[in-house]
Amino acid sequence: MPANFPPIILASKSPRRQELLNLMGLAFKVELKDVDESYPSDLSPAEIAVYISEKKARAFTADGEIVITADTIVALNGEILGKPEDRKHAQEMLKKLSGSKHEVFTGVTLARGDQVHSFYDRTVVYCKAVTAAEIDFYIDNYKPFDKAGSYGVQDWWGIVVVERIEGSYTNVMGLPTEKLYNELLKFI
Protein backbone atom coordinates (compact mmCIF):
# COMPACT_ATOMS: atom_id res chain seq x y z
CA MET A 1 0.00 0.00 0.00
CA PRO A 2 1.59 3.30 -1.07
CA ALA A 3 0.02 5.27 1.78
CA ASN A 4 0.23 4.55 5.49
CA PHE A 5 -3.40 4.87 6.59
CA PRO A 6 -4.47 4.94 10.23
CA PRO A 7 -6.84 2.15 11.36
CA ILE A 8 -10.06 2.17 9.34
CA ILE A 9 -13.59 1.34 10.47
CA LEU A 10 -16.05 0.51 7.71
CA ALA A 11 -19.52 1.26 9.01
CA SER A 12 -21.36 -0.95 6.53
CA LYS A 13 -22.76 -4.46 6.50
CA SER A 14 -22.57 -4.50 2.70
CA PRO A 15 -20.45 -7.45 1.56
CA ARG A 16 -19.77 -5.53 -1.66
CA ARG A 17 -18.27 -2.55 0.17
CA GLN A 18 -16.18 -4.92 2.30
CA GLU A 19 -14.96 -6.73 -0.82
CA LEU A 20 -14.05 -3.43 -2.50
CA LEU A 21 -12.01 -2.21 0.50
CA ASN A 22 -10.21 -5.57 0.53
CA LEU A 23 -9.46 -5.21 -3.18
CA MET A 24 -8.09 -1.73 -2.47
CA GLY A 25 -5.61 -3.35 -0.08
CA LEU A 26 -6.98 -1.52 2.95
CA ALA A 27 -6.93 -3.04 6.43
CA PHE A 28 -10.23 -2.33 8.21
CA LYS A 29 -12.71 -3.63 10.71
CA VAL A 30 -16.48 -3.53 10.36
CA GLU A 31 -18.60 -1.83 13.01
CA LEU A 32 -22.31 -1.27 12.71
CA LYS A 33 -24.69 1.16 14.38
CA ASP A 34 -28.42 1.50 13.81
CA VAL A 35 -29.15 4.80 12.10
CA ASP A 36 -32.46 6.27 10.99
CA GLU A 37 -32.07 6.67 7.22
CA SER A 38 -34.88 9.18 6.73
CA TYR A 39 -34.07 12.46 4.97
CA PRO A 40 -35.72 15.79 4.13
CA SER A 41 -37.98 15.55 1.07
CA ASP A 42 -36.46 18.57 -0.70
CA LEU A 43 -33.01 17.03 -1.26
CA SER A 44 -31.63 15.93 -4.64
CA PRO A 45 -30.48 12.30 -5.01
CA ALA A 46 -26.82 13.33 -4.53
CA GLU A 47 -27.73 15.35 -1.44
CA ILE A 48 -29.73 12.41 -0.03
CA ALA A 49 -26.76 10.05 -0.43
CA VAL A 50 -24.41 12.49 1.35
CA TYR A 51 -26.99 13.37 4.03
CA ILE A 52 -27.52 9.72 5.01
CA SER A 53 -23.79 8.97 4.82
CA GLU A 54 -23.08 11.87 7.20
CA LYS A 55 -25.88 10.69 9.52
CA LYS A 56 -24.21 7.28 9.69
CA ALA A 57 -20.82 8.86 10.43
CA ARG A 58 -22.24 10.97 13.29
CA ALA A 59 -23.22 7.74 15.08
CA PHE A 60 -19.49 7.08 15.67
CA THR A 61 -16.92 8.72 17.91
CA ALA A 62 -13.54 7.69 16.55
CA ASP A 63 -10.40 9.62 17.43
CA GLY A 64 -7.43 7.83 15.89
CA GLU A 65 -9.41 5.71 13.44
CA ILE A 66 -10.95 6.81 10.16
CA VAL A 67 -14.63 5.87 9.92
CA ILE A 68 -15.93 5.30 6.39
CA THR A 69 -19.68 5.43 5.84
CA ALA A 70 -21.57 5.32 2.56
CA ASP A 71 -25.06 5.39 1.14
CA THR A 72 -26.11 4.51 -2.40
CA ILE A 73 -29.18 5.96 -4.09
CA VAL A 74 -30.70 4.82 -7.39
CA ALA A 75 -32.68 7.56 -9.15
CA LEU A 76 -34.89 7.18 -12.22
CA ASN A 77 -36.24 10.45 -13.62
CA GLY A 78 -36.03 12.02 -10.15
CA GLU A 79 -37.74 9.07 -8.40
CA ILE A 80 -35.68 7.41 -5.68
CA LEU A 81 -35.60 3.62 -5.95
CA GLY A 82 -34.49 2.36 -2.55
CA LYS A 83 -34.25 -1.19 -1.29
CA PRO A 84 -37.37 -3.17 -2.17
CA GLU A 85 -39.86 -3.85 0.59
CA ASP A 86 -40.90 -7.20 -0.90
CA ARG A 87 -40.99 -9.24 -4.12
CA LYS A 88 -43.78 -7.17 -5.72
CA HIS A 89 -41.89 -3.95 -5.00
CA ALA A 90 -38.71 -5.43 -6.55
CA GLN A 91 -40.70 -6.45 -9.65
CA GLU A 92 -42.10 -2.90 -9.97
CA MET A 93 -38.65 -1.31 -9.68
CA LEU A 94 -36.97 -3.66 -12.14
CA LYS A 95 -39.80 -3.13 -14.63
CA LYS A 96 -39.16 0.63 -14.39
CA LEU A 97 -35.42 0.13 -14.95
CA SER A 98 -36.02 -2.16 -17.95
CA GLY A 99 -35.23 -0.35 -21.20
CA SER A 100 -34.25 2.89 -19.52
CA LYS A 101 -31.31 4.82 -18.12
CA HIS A 102 -30.96 5.76 -14.47
CA GLU A 103 -28.43 7.35 -12.16
CA VAL A 104 -26.60 5.87 -9.19
CA PHE A 105 -25.27 8.22 -6.52
CA THR A 106 -23.05 7.11 -3.66
CA GLY A 107 -22.37 9.50 -0.83
CA VAL A 108 -19.26 8.75 1.22
CA THR A 109 -18.19 10.28 4.53
CA LEU A 110 -14.77 10.06 6.14
CA ALA A 111 -14.69 10.95 9.84
CA ARG A 112 -11.97 11.07 12.49
CA GLY A 113 -12.39 13.04 15.69
CA ASP A 114 -13.97 16.37 14.69
CA GLN A 115 -12.72 16.03 11.12
CA VAL A 116 -15.54 15.13 8.70
CA HIS A 117 -15.28 15.08 4.92
CA SER A 118 -18.04 14.01 2.53
CA PHE A 119 -18.21 13.57 -1.22
CA TYR A 120 -20.31 11.72 -3.76
CA ASP A 121 -19.99 10.10 -7.14
CA ARG A 122 -22.56 9.72 -9.93
CA THR A 123 -22.80 7.00 -12.56
CA VAL A 124 -25.35 6.70 -15.38
CA VAL A 125 -26.54 3.14 -16.05
CA TYR A 126 -28.31 2.02 -19.25
CA CYS A 127 -30.45 -1.14 -19.11
CA LYS A 128 -31.87 -3.11 -22.01
CA ALA A 129 -35.54 -4.08 -22.01
CA VAL A 130 -36.30 -7.33 -20.18
CA THR A 131 -39.41 -9.49 -19.89
CA ALA A 132 -41.46 -10.15 -16.79
CA ALA A 133 -40.13 -13.74 -16.85
CA GLU A 134 -36.53 -12.45 -16.83
CA ILE A 135 -37.35 -10.16 -13.90
CA ASP A 136 -38.87 -13.09 -12.01
CA PHE A 137 -35.83 -15.26 -12.82
CA TYR A 138 -33.56 -12.54 -11.48
CA ILE A 139 -35.51 -12.06 -8.25
CA ASP A 140 -35.82 -15.83 -7.65
CA ASN A 141 -32.14 -16.54 -8.22
CA TYR A 142 -30.38 -13.41 -6.97
CA LYS A 143 -32.71 -12.18 -4.18
CA PRO A 144 -31.88 -8.46 -4.60
CA PHE A 145 -33.77 -7.34 -1.49
CA ASP A 146 -30.76 -5.67 0.15
CA LYS A 147 -29.87 -3.56 -2.90
CA ALA A 148 -30.90 -0.05 -3.87
CA GLY A 149 -32.91 -0.25 -7.09
CA SER A 150 -33.38 -4.02 -6.58
CA TYR A 151 -30.30 -5.05 -8.54
CA GLY A 152 -26.58 -5.69 -8.29
CA VAL A 153 -24.33 -4.60 -11.14
CA GLN A 154 -21.91 -7.40 -10.23
CA ASP A 155 -24.46 -10.21 -10.75
CA TRP A 156 -26.79 -11.45 -13.53
CA TRP A 157 -28.51 -8.08 -13.92
CA GLY A 158 -25.22 -6.30 -14.51
CA ILE A 159 -23.87 -9.00 -16.80
CA VAL A 160 -26.99 -9.52 -18.93
CA VAL A 161 -29.17 -6.41 -18.59
CA VAL A 162 -26.81 -3.45 -18.14
CA GLU A 163 -25.79 -2.34 -21.64
CA ARG A 164 -23.30 0.31 -20.57
CA ILE A 165 -22.40 2.73 -17.85
CA GLU A 166 -20.98 6.25 -17.82
CA GLY A 167 -18.81 6.72 -14.76
CA SER A 168 -17.45 4.51 -12.02
CA TYR A 169 -18.42 0.83 -12.06
CA THR A 170 -17.56 0.43 -8.36
CA ASN A 171 -19.83 3.40 -7.58
CA VAL A 172 -22.75 1.29 -8.85
CA MET A 173 -21.55 -1.52 -6.54
CA GLY A 174 -21.83 0.94 -3.63
CA LEU A 175 -18.39 2.55 -3.21
CA PRO A 176 -16.54 4.76 -5.73
CA THR A 177 -13.11 3.26 -4.99
CA GLU A 178 -10.89 5.47 -7.13
CA LYS A 179 -12.43 8.62 -5.68
CA LEU A 180 -12.37 7.12 -2.16
CA TYR A 181 -8.65 6.34 -2.41
CA ASN A 182 -7.83 9.89 -3.52
CA GLU A 183 -10.00 11.41 -0.78
CA LEU A 184 -8.36 9.15 1.85
CA LEU A 185 -4.91 10.37 0.72
CA LYS A 186 -6.04 13.99 1.25
CA PHE A 187 -7.74 13.12 4.57
CA ILE A 188 -4.70 11.61 6.33
Residue numbers annotated as active site: 71
Whether residue 83 contacts residue 145, with contact meaning beta carbons closer than 8 Å, is answered with yes
129 neighbors 96 (Cβ within 8 angstroms): no
Query: Could you give the CA distance from residue 143 to residue 152 in angstroms, rounded to a whole number?
Result: 10
- Long-range CB pairs of 35-42, under 8 A, 24+ apart, other chains included: 35/59, 37/71
Q: Which residues contact 180 (CB under 8 A, 6 or more apart)?
A: 24, 68, 108
